[in-house]
Structure 1
């Protein structure tokens, strides 16, 4: 008889455990602002904690009305059942997954842009090297025996046209040249050899262009050394000649400037009076 009673009690205990396990379940907060966990079944009871949206609570027991007793991370209290759902909010999961996916895509996009930017810099550096330091047009000043304004424009990777408006002998000269360039001169990056040929037209004061052996202007009609040149030459001498150029040019890596040193020998076909050595230095601003 005692064994039977004990067995019945054991069955009852197992039944109660299974019932409790079946009854106990988890709920999820469906209120967008979260809910308050209170010390009693009513809004007039103090707040123990706040359970956020989609937060998980464990059901413990029923209370007055629609209030139930729950456990939230070890904190026990009461919440209103109308704010709970038996299923976790799928929209929240989808939004979270979407945010993670968007974040991953954003990181991938940033990495792609960084890689593309790095590749573009490499391509620019390669083009910079192949395109004669990477500049096409530069404008600046020449200073020397013939001083003036210089415009230089590259027509291909190694060839450029230079135009110079210069001043000498109380007059003006117009020079146009084609120049060849060889980069990495003397093993220095940014330094190149330049050499070429061209034409020059001059419009000078004859009294300064033609000089006697004392190297003074022939502007004295009573000077026998200047007599022939002074009376036989118009003060406005017009002439055309051939000009050459050879020198070095350097482009600064961090500023849009070029600097060159060169010699420009030339001689005029009419009114020939020797070969002239025209040395100069140039500083130009790079436009593109």
Structure 2
């Protein structure tokens, strides 16, 4: 197995037509979850992926399982329990802004413990992909993730995206937990706002030094439309976005970016090329409604990155 990820997936209900939910005529269901989004992206790039989670034995759980399996993500480590599957409403306004309302308290995933984890399966993987969402779900999942990384073989690389959601925990709680977690992380992927939450500033050179001193040897900082910075294997640099896209739904961009990074790690891609592909993926997927629906194949990525800058994007 190339990549294993642990995390919650939920059903996202998107209002139609776009605008305020109060005026909706209906809702379209999508599968959503940071870890599953990234796994689907990696699967479409040809990597072998596996998902560890818990779902309710209900129609929402079956919906998620069906969709994730269809993307060739291994789901044999997903537990079906008597707890309910999480759900949320995603309101997309005509100007592209997104507002999310979660109903995930006491979900099946929020009650995961080490009893749901197969450490042998994880230790056979090359990369373990985790996010701060699982740390914030509940005290149980937080304890579980710390136990997982403490029991992890050194050969398995941990890639971690803080994915800080302030609707789920406070800045102070996120800061304390994530800084405690970072010594177990090999690659940190963070946004510039997350850097400020974690360290109280946006001095990115200083941030990279701080994370390295904590034991996290590699850092990638996302700058949105301005590209990304990286400190990988002791080499630092900045990469501009190779393409600019018109956003329709920005949710999932960070997960697509993470897929580009993890794919580069698996293929031992040079840092600059890896981050360039990650930037492209993060922008490209925002053209589509849904967290992973627009994730391209490897051939599409290569063709578009090699295209002339004045060529129009094909949809």
TM-score with structure 2 setting the length: 0.20
Is the helix fraction higher in 1 or 2? 2
Highest relative contact order (Cα 8 Å, sep 6+), 1 or 2? 2
TM-score with structure 1 setting the length: 0.21
Which of the pair has more CA radius of gyration?
1
Is the strand fraction higher in 1 or 2? 1
